Amino acid sequence: MSSARRVQQWVTFGRMWYLFDAKWQNPFDASTKIVKVLSGSHKPIYHNDIDCGDHVVVINSAQIALPGDEWERRVFYHHTGYAQGASWTLAHQVHEKDKTMVFRRAIYHALDTSLLRHARMCRLHIYPDEEVPEEILRNVSAQLRQMRAVPKRLDHYTEDEVKNFPKLFEWPKDYVLET
Amino acid sequence: MKFLPSQDASFSTSVRNHLKEIQKTTEGNTTIVEGKYVESPHSGKVVFKPNDEKVCPLCALNLNLKHTDVLVLSQFVRPNGQLLPRRITGLCCVQQTKLTKLVTMSKKAGLMPNLAPANSHKDPAKRRGSKKLHRFFDEATIRDTTLRNVARYREIRYTK
C-alpha cells in the first residue's frame, strides 16, 4: 500500500493512549468522557464487537474533588459472598485506604454492563500522584481536557496581584484597619 | 478688614486621610502600641466614583460570582476570617446573605486558608478526617432574590 494509505491505516486503527489529570475533578462527571474513550465510541469506526477502545492514564487521583458533603454521603457497597458479608463504606474511608479506588469504581459503574467491561477496565491506568511508570508514559500521546477549572487559592496569588486587584468599596472615614 | 493668617498656621488643600492602623513595635523591654494615620489600601483602585459609593457594589456590578472568585470575596472578609458588616461595605442585605453563603463555600473548599483566626493551621491539608479532602460547590443552590431589587438602583458610572 502507498505511504499515505499506510499512515491513514495507522491513524484509523491504532490504539491511542490518553492522559487525564484528575486534580480537582469530579470522577463521576469525568467518567462520562473517559468511558466514551475506553469503549471507543469517540471513533467513527466504532462497533461493539471490534474492541476499538483506547487507553486512558489517569494521574493525581488522590486529589479528586466531590461536590458538597458527598465525601460523607457517597457509599460503596461490597459483599464478600458469605453470610453477613454486606458492607457499606463511605467515600472518604475508601479514599483513605486506596487513593485510586473511588475513581476506579466511578468508571466501572459508568461503563456498559457487558462482557467487555473488564477488558475496558484493564485499559484504564490510575495513579494517585504524578509518578507513572516509564513504559506506560512512553505510550501517551494526547491529553483529555479537564471538565472543571482548577481553583486557585488566595495564598497562591502574589501579594501584588491581590493588592492591585480592583476594589469594590472604599473604607469609611476614621476606620481602624486590621492587620 | 483684612484678615492675615499667622505665619505658624499650615493649610492643606488635599483630603486628610483618616484611616488608622494600630502598629506594635518592640524595642528591648518596651512595647510601643501606636495608632498611625495611613493611606487607604483601596485608594485609586475602587471601581466606583466617590459620589456614587452609596450604592450596593455587588448589585451594581452584576458579577455572577462563584465561590472560586477568591480575589473578590476576600475583600469582604477580615484577616481573622470574619465577614465585614454591611455598614462598612455598603452591601444590601440580599447581597450580604448571598456573600455569606459564597464565603462559607469558599472556606469549606479550602480556598481562603490565610483568612483564618490566629490559632488556625492556615493549611487545608492539616484538617482532620474528611475535611482535608477537596470539595467544590454549586452556586445554583443559593436562592437568588436580586431580581426584585434591580429596578430600585440608579445607573452607575464607573471611574474608567
| Residue-wise pLDDT tens digits, A145-156 | 999 999 999 999
Residue A9 lies in a domain: yes
Interchain contact, B122 vs A178, CB within 8 Å: no
Minimal C-alpha gap between B148 and chain A (Å): 22
Interchain contact, B137 vs A67, CB within 8 Å: yes
* Structure confidence at residue B159 as a pLDDT band (50, 70, 90): very low
Domain extent for B114: 57-159
CATH code assigned at B101:
4.10.640.10
C-alpha–C-alpha distance, residues B117 and B114, integer Å: 9
Domain extent for A112: 3-163
Q: Does B63 touch chain A (CB under 8 A)?
A: no
Residue A71 lies in a domain: yes
Tell me the HSE value of A35 on the side-chain side, using a 13 A CA sphere. Answer: 19
| Residue-wise pLDDT tens digits, B29-47 | 999 998 888 888 998 888 8
* Residues in chain A within 8 Å Cβ distance of B53: 169-170
Whether B99 contacts B58, CB under 8 Å: yes
Using CA atoms in the order B61, A169, B113, B132, what is the torsion angle rounded to 10 degrees? -30
Pairing of β A124-126 and β A55-59: parallel
Residue to test with chain B: of A171, A174, A175, A179, most B Cβ within 10 A: A171
* pLDDT at position B23: 85
Cell 499515505 identifies what position? A4
Minimal C-alpha gap between A44 and chain B (Å): 35
SS3 B6: coil
* Structure confidence at residue B26 as a pLDDT band (50, 70, 90): confident
Nearest to B70 by CA among B43, B99, B97, B98: B99
Interface predicted TM-score (ipTM): 0.90
Considering the domain architecture, whether residues B85 and B149 belong to the same structural domain is answered as yes
